[in-house]
Structure 1
Amino acid sequence: MPNLDARLQAVLHLIQADVHADIGSDHAHLPIRLAQLGRITRGVIVEVNPGPLEHARVNVARAGLTDRLEVRAGDGLAPLAPGEVQSASMTGMGAQTMLGILTRTPDRVPDALVLQPNDSPEPLRRWAQARGYHVTAEVLTPGFWRYPVLRLERQSGPDPAYVGLPAGAALRYGPHLLREGSPLLREQVAADVTRLTPLAAPGRAATHELEVAQSAAVWLSRDRK
C-alpha cells in the first residue's frame, strides 16, 4: 500500500464516492489508496504530463487495480464526460490553477470536490459561494507549510457555515477552521498579524489583509471565553 503524507491523508478522509476522479494525480498514490480502502468503487486518474502519466499507469498496474482505476491523459476535467464522476480531488496546486480547471469545463465539475491548494484557498471559497457550493468540511494539516484541505458540495441556498462569522476572516481562514480554532490556525493568524503589521499603510493591500487577520484573531480570542 502506498504511504500518504499528512496532507494526502487529510484529503483521503474527506473522499467517499462511488466514482471519483483525481486530477493531476502524479504518482496515483491517493486514488490507489482510496480504492484499496474501499472509499471509492471506481476511479479516473487524469494527468497531463507524460512522465507522471506513465508513472501513474505503472503504479496502478503494480497495485492490481487496472479494473477499477482508469488512467487518462488530458488537462484538468476535460477527459471526463459530464456527470461521469460523483466527486473529484485536486492536490498540490495553486488555487488559481484549480480555478482555471474548474472554470474551463464547468459542465464537468461534479457535485463534490476535495481541494488541497498550496496557497490561500480564499479564491476557492469565493468561487464556491458564487457557484452554489457549500464548504462542508475543512482540515488544516502541518507540513512544509500549513496545508488547507476543503470539501465543497453543491447545495442550494446560502452556505450556513459562514453564519455568525466575520465574513472576510471566514473566507480567508475558513469558516469551519475558525469555529474549530485549532492551535495550528491560531499560529497562522498570529503569524499573519505579525507579518502584515509593518507592511500596512493607507492605500496598501496589506492594510486590508491586516484588518482581516486582526478580525480573525479577535474572533478566536472571543471563542476561548
Structure 2
Amino acid sequence: MLTPTLDARLEAVLELIRADVHADIGSDHARLPVRLIREGRVGRCIAVELNPGPLAQARRSVARARLDAQIEVREGDGFAPVAPGELDSASLCGMGAHTIRGILERAGERRPPALVLQPNDSALLIRLWAREAGYHVRAERLIAGYWPYPVLRLERAAGADPAYEDVPVDAALKYGPLLLRAGGEVVRRQIEADIVRLGSVAAPGRASWDELETARTALAVLDSRMK
C-alpha cells in the first residue's frame, strides 16, 4: 500500500500531532489521517468533511489504505459530528484564519484540549482567539511556499501564555512569539517584505503606520537575538 505524500505545510502539521483520538476537520482527501495512523502518531482518527465530493474522496482514500477500523469518516460541519470529550486533539488546515476561528468558536465544549492549525493567511486572528479562549502556543512553524504558511500547536492551559513573555506583544501576535524567538530566514523574509510593502503607503494616523511599526519592532527582535 502506498503511503500518501504531503506537501511541506502538511508535513509540518503532521509532526506536531500526537494523540490517542484525533480529528482532522475539513479533511478533504484524508491523506493526513492516513499518514497519522501509518506513522503511529494517533491511535484513532476521525476525518470530518462537509462537501460531497471531498467526503467521497476521503472515504475512498481510507478504504484504499485499508484503515477503516482506525479512521472514521464523518459528514458534517466543523466539530458538529464529534461528541464533547471525544477528542484529544484536532487539526484544521488550508483555510483562512477567519474561517478557522469561526469553526473553533462554534465548537464550544466539543473543542479538544490540543489544536494544530494551519491558516492560509496571517495567524494573527488565531493567536488573538487563543489568548481569549485559554489556549497557549506550544509550537510554531513557518513554511515557505506560494506564501509563508504558519502552523501552530495550541494547548488549553490556565493563566497567561508564557510564550509571550519578554517579546513585544503586538509583534508576537502578528508574527508568532516562538517564531520571533527562533528566528530563521522564512520569518525574516516575511517581516522584511512587509516593511517594504508598508513603507510606500504608511502614514502617521493610518492603520498601515501601526502595521509598519509592528514589523519594524519584529525585525529589531530578530536582529537583537543574532548579537
If the length of structure 2 is used for normalisation, what is the TM-score?
0.98
User: Which range is displaced more, 201-210 or 58-67?
Assistant: 201-210
What is the deviation of 1:32? 0.4
Q: How far apart in 1 are the matches of 2:221 and 2:204?
A: 24
Query: Which amino acid in structure 2 is aligned with residue 97 of structure 1?
Result: T
Q: Which residue in 1 is equivalent to 2:139?
A: 137
After superposition, what is the alpha-carbon deviation per residue over 1:83-125, rounded to whole angstroms, capped at 9, x for unaligned? 1010000000000000110111211110000000000001110
User: 5+ residue gaps in structure 1?
Assistant: none
Partner of 1:69: 71
Distance 1:53 1:130 in 2: 32
Instruction: Tell me the equivalent position of 1:152.
Output: 154
Shift of 1:18: 0.2
Specify the SS of the correspondent of 1:41. strand
Partner letter of residue 198 of structure 1?
S
Who is 2:27 aligned against? 25
State the distance in 1 between where 2:113 and 2:135 align: 8
Query: What is the Cα deviation at residue 203 of structure 1?
Result: 2.7
3-state SS in 2 of match to 1:143 = coil
TM-score of the superposed pair, with normalisation by structure 1: 0.99
2:198 to 189, 196, 204: 196
Q: Distance in 1 between matches of 2:173 and 2:217?
A: 12
User: What's the secondary structure of 2:200's corresponding residue?
Assistant: helix
Look up the equivalent residue of 1:26 and give its one-letter code. Answer: D
Q: Which amino acid aligns with 1:54?
A: A
2:49 pairs, out of 40, 47, 50, with: 47
Q: Distance in 2 between matches of 1:32 and 1:12?
A: 11
Taking the aligned partners of 2:85 and 2:201, their CA distance within structure 1 comes to 47
- Percent identity, aligned pairs only? 60
- Matched residues in 1 for 2:191 and 2:161: separation? 23
- Tell me the distance in 2 between the aligned counterparts of 1:219 and 1:19: 38
Partner of 1:12: 14
Give the Cα separation in 2 of the matches to 1:5 and 1:20. 20
Amino acid corresponding to residue 192 of structure 2 in structure 1: A
SS of the aligned residue for 2:188 comes to: helix
Residue 37 (structure 2) pairs with residue 35 (structure 1): yes
The residue type equivalent to 1:96 in the other structure is H
Paired residues in the alignment total 225
Distance 1:125 1:197 in 2: 25
Q: How well do the aligned residues superpose, as a CA RMSD in angstroms? A: 0.6
Return the alpha-carbon distance in structure 1 between the equivalents of residues 201 and 113 of structure 2. 40
1:162 aligns with 2:164: yes
Looking at structure 1, the residues matched to 177 and 70 of structure 2 have their Cα atoms a distance apart, in angstroms, of 35
Which ranges of structure 2 fall in alignment gaps of 5 or more residues?
Answer: none
